Structure 1
Amino acid sequence: MLLTIGLAAMCIGVAVSVVGIALPRASAPVPFTTFLQYATMAGILSIGSTVMYVVHRYDGARLALSVGDAGMVLAAGTMTVAVAALSTRRRRAALGVVTAIAITTAIVTASTSEDTSLVIKAAVLTVVSGACALAAARSPVVPHTPARLLATAMGLYAVYSAARAVVGVTTGWAGPVGAVFRSLEIGAAIAIATVLVCGLTVILSLGSATRLSDSDPQELTVIAISDARLVAAAYGPDRLRSLVDELRVAAHALDDRAVDVRHGVATALPSALSTLGDQMQNAFGWNPEEIALLSERGGRRGRIDQR
């Protein structure tokens, strides 16, 4: 009964805090939006993993246990990617590694005894959760307080998983200590608490982002076409105008507070030059030579040349 109540609370908490609140904030700056998207994925994976464990609990299906273990590893790994603020290429590579580890964990669970697979899963979660704790502690995208909260929660879960693995290898699951660390109820309670902290992290991050976006004056970065006269001479004034228009469309799509300036746009996007460079390449097909035309300079609201 307590396990069922805990699972229900976790599912509701994650659904409300991560999915219900995070997804409507899709207009946030790109790095923070990426964090929200991957945190949402981690929340969904944790819910799916929980459902599989419940299925295994009531009918003993080994496939459900394998999928649940894989989902648990994927959830922790995806949260690691969420807070790490990696480039697109590195993010894809990291997800590939996490997926490979999760699939391997599922295969081990399906092909070995439950006692052995529990040790392997605990060891894997020690590494993945520890990596998430380190990434959260150094995260450039998650605000300070939520990042420390997440780092603490994932660090504690890594310690718990490590203790589980050590007990399983040394004393086994038969003794009183082994029984405690093998307990489904205790393990579920700790996992539920960790997932709820992850959801709380998203809520606190959204609150911090809202307060930051409402602050005034706000530091802006001007991204513009450098040496517009030479560009107009080389490509023609129509092409220059087209480049500027596309740049402004991209900036306004990512930052609803962006301000048009001479031959460019002023925006509060973090890492504005690289963010808009990626957006121009992905959304408008700019080539490297065109992206190289972009230049960056700082400014403050009310002191920007809007000619």
Structure 2
Amino acid sequence: MADTPLTPEPHGQVSDAVRGNWVDTWAPAPSRPYLRLSRADRPIGTWLLFLPCMMGLMLSMLNDNIVTWHDAWTVAGCAAGAFLMRGAGCTWNDITDRDYDAQVARTQSRPIPSGQVSVKAAVFWMGLQALLSLFILLSFYPNAVFLGVVALVPVLIYPFAKRFTWWPQFFLGIAFNWGALLAWTAHSNQLQWPAVVLYLSGITWTLFYDTIYAHQDTEDDALIGVKSTARLFAENTHRWLMWFLILTVSLMGVAVVGATIDRSPLSLVIALGGPWAMGWHLFWQLRSLNTEDQDVLLRLFRSNRQAGLIPLLFFACALFV
């Protein structure tokens, strides 16, 4: 932990935000603290929430070989919902963690501990984002709406997980990959087993990338008593991440087979190229990992946007075979 409080970035910027991001550059000044609270200046989280949605939607389309204009709305709804619900979830996380964030060097510049936003205002902002998300959710099929409401449970639990378990990244995976179930159901109005297996692969992927992310704060977390898989695995992190890599690729492969079993062999082979190529990207991350280098940790974490886009490219190609 830093001996002295971290000096806030100029103009209220958050320390780990992308430099030159649209919030700090173009957004109206009064809106910036709230957009920072939603992590709009750090878009990787929105991508990591959105990508499982797209995987679920595309495998569902591969499964029944039906593509309609309704799917275009599902894409738009999932994109907007990912932005809004990620913002609401991050706001909730910062409300519950405000005392912890004030003690960790990387998070002292966040809007609540730095005094940019009051807790009362943050609660209002969280409710507004959640309400807008609900309006979008209600446009989906009834079964998808039910899944969307149930998704609130892991979202509410996650911020407290680091206080009672060494596996908070598992709880994050439960919350962040729920979109795989929801988007599959938004297409077909029924939840089928390949979607569940895809969801499980997303959880192991989250364990992979968020363990990397959590290594940024291991020293501070140890001092204030916050648990994480990064602290739990310590020098064995590489070995654990390799297992998560294998599980992610294997489970996604099973989901692909289940979704494409009635399609042509060529379509199956192309779709299976998705988890295979994603696995090589994760292996590159593992080979590049240095848990003592903050810049490397953040760069590898952010590279999971590309990791998640890779299988989508293969799934899209398989749709037209």
TM-score (norm 2): 0.34
Larger radius of gyration: 1
Structure with greater strand percent: 1
TM-score (norm 1): 0.35
The structure whose RCO (Cα within 8 Å, separation 6+) is larger is 2
